[in-house]
Amino acid sequence: MEVLLTGGAGFIGTAIARALLADGHTVHVFDQRPVSLPGVTSVRGDLRDPSVVADALRGVDAVCHQAAMVGLGVDFADAPAYAGANDLGTAVLLAAMARADVRRLVLAGSMVVYGEGRYHCPAHGPVPAPPRRVADLEVGRFDPRCPRCGAELTPGLVGEDAPADPRNVYAATKLHQEHLASAWARACRGTAVSLRYHNVYGPGLPRDTPYAGVAALFRSALARGRAPRVFEDGAQRRDFVHVRDVASANLAALASLDTRDPGAFRAYNVGSGEIHTVGDLASALAAAYGGPAPVVTGEFRLGDVRHITADSRRLRAELGWAPRVSFTDGMAEFAAEAAEGAEAAEAVEAAEGADAEEADAYPRN
C-alpha cells in the first residue's frame, strides 16, 4: 500500500515509518523537517498549503496523519497557532483527500480529549471530577472528591465512550481533528480510525520539549546527574505505552480500514493496560540509570490531570492488537539510551574543551 505519513519526521512518526516499511508498505513522509530514514520518500511542506498537499497525495492509497502542534501551550494566546496547525492543517488535508479520492485515514488522536479520568463515588456511582482548587492542592489534597457529597473518589479506566472534556487548547484541537475526520468519512464515504494515544515513551523521545512529558524530563535530569523532581505526591496514575506498540497499533488500524463500511469512523484507546504512577516512572528510570533517587516535591500545576488511564479492550478485541513491550523492559531501554547520550555529550564537551585549549595556545590574528 502507498501510504502518506504526515509528521513522519517526529518521534512517533519515525517509529510508524519503520513499522510500515517492515510491513512491506511504500512510505511517503510529509513533514516540515527533513527525513533521514532510508527507504522512505520525503516530501517537505506545510499541511496548510493545498497545492503541496495535493501533490503529495498523488498515487496514495491511505493517509496516516500524525502531524500536529503538540504540548499544552503557555497561555491562551497560543490558541491561533494550535488551531492553525492542527485544525486548519487537518481540514486542508481532508479536503485534498476528498478531491484525490483517497478514502483511508488513520488519525493520531490523544487521551487528552477526556480531560480527567473516570471516577466512582461509593454513594453516587460514576461522577465527573470537579475542577481542581488551589486551596486543596496547597495543603496536599490532590485527589478529586465527589462534587455531590465530597466523598473520596476511586479512579478507574477510561473507555472510548466516556464524554469528551478537553481542558486546554491542544486537547480541543485534537478533539476537533476527530470531528473533522468523522465528517469527512460520512461526506466522502471514506473510512477513518482515530488512535487515542496515552503516555508514549521510548527511544528517540525528545528531551525538554513540550511533547516529551515527564518521562523525558526525568530522563534528562538523570543524564545530568540530578534527581528527578516528582510533582504532587507522585501517585498520579498513568498508562505509559511504548512507541513501538503505538506503531504496531497504527499498522493494525491501517489493515482494518478495508473491512469497514464506507462512512465509518471509530476511535480506539492505545495504552499498555498497565497502570503505573508518575512516582513509579521516576523510580524505575532512576533504578535503571543507577540513581540518584527521585525527590517528591509536593509542587503542583493547576492544569495537570490527576488520574487518566486507558481501557484498551476495544482495540484488542476488534483489531487483535496487543502491546509487546513491558514497563520494566521499556524503562530499562529508555534509561540505557539516556546513558549513551550522556556519554556522547561528555565526549563532545571534552573534544570542544581540547579544541578551545589548542586555540588559546595558538592565537589567531
CA distance 72 to 78: 9
Give me the residue spans of the domains in the chain: 2-117+158-355, 118-157
The domain over range 2-117+158-355 is classified in CATH as 3.40.50.720: yes
Residue with cell 496547597: 138
Write down the pTM of the prediction: 0.89
Share of the chain above pLDDT 70, in %: 90
Res 208: pLDDT: 54
Cβ within 8 Å of residue 101, ≥6 positions away = none
Cis check for the bond before 292: say yes or no (omega within 30 of 0).
yes
95-99, 158-162, 180-184, 218-222: least confidently modelled range? 218-222
Positions marked catalytic:
170
Measure the CA angle with vertex 145, ends 143 and 146; round to 5°: 150
Q: What pLDDT, in 10s, does the model give residues 177-210?
A: 999 999 999 999 999 999 999 999 998 888 655 4
CA distance 270 to 110: 9
Cβ(222)–Cβ(228) below 8 Å: yes
Q: What pLDDT, in 10s, does the model give residues 314-340?
A: 999 999 999 999 999 999 998 888 656
- Region 228-235: mean pLDDT is 96
Tell me, rounded to whole angstroms, the distance of Cα 99 from its chain centroid. Answer: 30
Reported in sequence order, the residue ranges of the chain that DSSP labels E, i.e. its strands, are: 2-6, 26-31, 41-44, 62-65, 104-110, 118-121, 125-127, 154-156, 191-197, 199-201, 229-230, 237-238, 240-242, 265-270, 276-277, 295-296
| Of 289 and 16, the one with more pLDDT | 16
Res 359: pLDDT: 26
Res 71: pLDDT: 74
Res 293: pLDDT: 96
